[in-house]
Amino acid sequence: MNDTKPKVFSGIQPSGSKTLGNYSGGFRQYAQTQETHEAFFCIVDLHSISVDYDPGELRRATLDLAAMFFATGLDAERATVFCQSHVTAHAEAAWLLSSVTSYGQLSRMTQFKDKSEGRDVVSAALFTYPVLMAGDILLYQTDLVPIGDDQRQHLELSRDIAERFNHRFGETFRVPEGKFPEIGGRIMDLQEPQNKMSTTLSSEQGAVYIVDSPDAIMKKFKSAVTDSEREVRYDPQEKPGVSNLLEIMSVATGEPIEALERRFENAGYGDFKVAVGESVVALLNPIRERYEALRGDERELQRLLAVGAEKARRASAPTLEMMYERMGFARSDAGPFFGAARPKGL
Ligand code: AMP
Ligand code: TRP
């Protein structure tokens, strides 16, 4: 492994079908960074049990997501693609870091407030979820975390946790930076453009799934909500529906939004929506085809995840060991558990 390359880490939950929003804020950025960085991409299955879930579904969704990582361009050789629960360091780090995380700060997380609203039972895992996420990132001495806008607050918390730990126990973690896409960091629901497109909260018509058929995609775009003004102009405040469509087309084609505004200056909304739909079909069709081929071979997916887990274990062990040492746990070179993990010079 090349230690001089900056490190990138991101995680995504194996739950529900992944959307065009996940592609734009997540997968699209991941594939770009594996060229220039030492890249870690994690299927965060431990995060998925923080809300009510079905065990059979978790297993299926984990393999779905592994196939999606590879279908969107990640390469098991160049990047480390792995499953969070396969690397026990993540659960350990979460517990250790929870000692430097304040209850007050966790209660201010907007995602916690949104997700706990209206539920009969709110799990402790939902509350401490951002600590697990901080551990994911910090274990790899991550420089850069590509994420969508909705994870900004969690990343800030991870930075605070790193700084607090470094201050309390001595310099241990690199403090990570977020990387947010300039456009497409927050793709909105096609039916309710004031809300983000979401795996769990959007309606079937409001969310475009990466594996949707071309027909389904065209239908969703043709019925997308716009406004009565009949002018293709980018203005997220006044024109959320149209602005979202412009942003989506810009992500799909790589063309700047201004160029698209000019192209559709004199077009009706009907033609504009068809063009946006077609650009998304062109983007997602090859991904869906690759996905289906990969998803058909579960043994191969399991093998690739095992390769990733081994690399991730080796990469995270020195930092975990350093955490235990700095926090005052009586570690020993002779013990069966830490001998191999103990970093040189500690
Ligand atoms: P999740 O499926 O919630 O684990 O999200 C995985 C990644 O997709 C995270 O980096 C999110 O920020 C990103 N993401 C989720 N929804 C959207 C959206 N509507 N627009 C842009 N990025 C998103
Ligand atoms: N909390 C993130 C989400 O719901 C997923 C996640 C878990 C993550 N661990 C991470 C993202 C580490 C980036 C880095 O989208």
207 in a structural domain? no
Residue 230 clears pLDDT 80, i.e. is over it = yes
pLDDT-derived band at 341 (thresholds 50, 70, 90) equals: low
β-strand pairing of 144-146 with 177-179: parallel
- Rounded CA-CA distance 182/243 in Å is 14
Distance of CA 147 from the midpoint of ligand 1 (Å): 7
Stated pTM of the model: 0.90
Residue in the structure block whose two tokens are 């102009």: 233
134 in a structural domain? yes
pLDDT-derived band at 288 (thresholds 50, 70, 90) equals: very high
220 in a structural domain? yes
Residue 52 clears pLDDT 60, i.e. is over it = yes
Distances (CA, A) of 196 to 37, 163, 208, 263, 274: 29, 31, 12, 26, 21
Residue 158 clears pLDDT 90, i.e. is over it = yes
Residue 343 clears pLDDT 90, i.e. is over it = no
Last residue in a domain, options 273, 295, 317 = 295
Residues 250 and 133 in one domain: no
Q: Verify whether ligand 1 is closer than 6 Å to residue 176 (CB atom).
A: no
For 71-83, the pLDDT digits (tens) are: 999 999 999 999 9
**Nearest-ligand number for the alpha carbon of 149:** 1
Residues 313 and 280 in one domain: no
- Rounded CA-CA distance 208/190 in Å is 8
Residue 277 clears pLDDT 80, i.e. is over it = yes
337 in a structural domain? no
- Within 13 Å of residue 79, how many CA atoms lie on the same side as its CB? 25
Residues 59 and 175 in one domain: yes
pLDDT of residue 118: 86
Distance of CA 337 from the midpoint of ligand 1 (Å): 36
- Within 13 Å of residue 112, how many CA atoms lie on the same side as its CB? 19
Domain encompassing residue 243: 214-295
E-only strand ranges, 200-337: none
E-only strand ranges, 29-183: 38-43, 80-83, 144-146, 177-179
Token couple for 80: 């480390």
- Within 8 A by CB and 6+ apart from 194, the residues are 188, 240
pLDDT-derived band at 346 (thresholds 50, 70, 90) equals: very low
**Nearest-ligand number for the alpha carbon of 209:** 1
Distance of CA 21 from the midpoint of ligand 1 (Å): 6
Inter-axis angle of helices 269-295 and 55-71, to 10 degrees?
Answer: 110
Residue nearest to atom 8 of ligand 1 (CA): 22
Q: Please, what is the average pLDDT of the chain?
A: 93
Residues 30 and 157 in one domain: yes
Residues 90 and 220 in one domain: no
Rg of the Cα atoms in the chain:
21
- How many domains in the chain? 2
Distance of CA 63 from the midpoint of ligand 2 (Å): 18
